[in-house]
Structure formats: C-alpha cells, structure tokens
C-alpha cells in the first residue's frame, strides 16, 4: 500500500484515532505543525506517519501497539527549527530525543515504553541509547523509512518545480 493511501486509511481507523486523541488535541503537539523536519514535511506530519506505521507494525506482531503509537506521535516533540542557528542544543541529531522527552513529560503522563521510544529513536546514530524493547527497534526503522520517503518526496517536488520554472 502506498504511503498516501496508508495515511488516508489512518483517518478511518477509529482505534488509532482514539489512542492518539488526547495527544493531537494538545496545543504543544499542534505546535509541531510550525516546524519542518525533512524537506517540506512538518514535524507533526512526520510524527503522525511514524505513529501510524508503528501502530500497524506492532499490532500485527502482538506487541504494545498503543504505547508504540503514542511514543511515535511524541518522538520528535522538540519544538524548534533545527535549521535555525542557536535555537537548540547541538548537535541536533544527538540532543533532540532528550528535548522531545522533556517537552512530552511536561504535557503527558508517559509510561516507561513511551519514554523509552522517545529517548532511543535515533539509534544507531546515538550509539549508546539502544532500544530495549521490540517496539523501540521497530520505531527506529520506521522513523528512518518515513524520513527517507519525506526527503525523497521533497526532492521530487523540487525537481518538478524546477522543470516547470
């Protein structure tokens, strides 16, 4: 199934929507719509995609899909534009999981797995923060898969725009 179709499917998935309902209604989480993460993709859309893919992958394998979906939705709640100098602790790739965790725990009561998923999602870039559960390993792969797709989509869009300029 294509990425776009899968996201359309997520809107019809009542259980998934119920799991992330309080997260997406939160004003801090909504702020992610103001920051781009990979190419033209907003942080919010990236987290939403990761959350839905994690939900499906973990549900299929009999894992804790609720925590996986919630951890996915919050994993990049760092709330700054990493392209803007001095807006954040550097290097972004290493520090943002901790910033996202600090922001998330101010807004929500996180369970240990949600905390774990946020803090370890950059593995293996952050070599020493190894995911300690299957859900965490799944999230690290899905995060990178979504990031790659988002980056490639932006490149494609740029080429098309340049070709028609």
Write down the least CB distance from residue 147 to Fe ion, Å: 6
Q: 79 φ, ψ to 5°?
A: 60, 50
* Cβ proximity of 75 and 50 under 8 Å: yes
Q: Which residue in the set 64, 114, 116, 143 belongs to the binding site for Fe ion (CB under 5 A)?
A: 143
Number of C-alpha atoms within 13 angstroms, CB side, residue 33? 8
Helices (H), the chain: 3-12, 14-24, 27-30, 43-60, 65-74, 92-107, 112-120, 134-163
Site residues for Fe ion, 66-125, by CB under 5 A, read 76
**Minimum distance from residue 125 beta carbon to Fe ion (Å):** 9
Nearest distance from C-beta of residue 76 to Fe ion, angstroms:
4
Between 137 and 160, CB nearer to Fe ion: 137
Number of residues that bind Fe ion (CB under 5 A): 2
CA distance 163 to 157: 10
Minimum distance of Fe ion from residue 146's CB (angstroms): 7
150 binds Fe ion (CB under 5 A): no
The residues of the shown chain that bind Fe ion, judged by CB under 5 A, are 76, 143
């Amino acid at each position: 199934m294509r990425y776009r179709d899968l996201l359309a499917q997520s809107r019809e998935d009542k259980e998934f929507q119920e799991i992330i309902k309080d997260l997406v209604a939160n004003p801090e989480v909504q702020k992610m719509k103001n920051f781009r993460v990979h190419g033209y993709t907003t942080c919010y859309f990236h987290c939403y995609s990761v959350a839905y893919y994690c939900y499906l992958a973990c549900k299929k394998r009999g894992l804790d899909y609720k925590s996986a979906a919630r951890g996915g939705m919050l994993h990049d709640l760092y709330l700054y534009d990493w392209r803007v100098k001095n807006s954040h602790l550097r290097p972004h790739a290493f520090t943002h999981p901790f910033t996202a965790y600090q922001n998330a725990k101010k807004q929500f009561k996180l369970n240990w797995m949600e905390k774990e998923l946020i803090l370890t999602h950059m593995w293996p870039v952050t070599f020493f923060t190894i995911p300690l559960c299957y859900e965490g390993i799944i999230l690290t792969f899905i995060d990178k898969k979504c990031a790659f797709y988002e980056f490639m989509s932006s490149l494609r869009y740029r080429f098309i725009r340049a070709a028609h300029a």
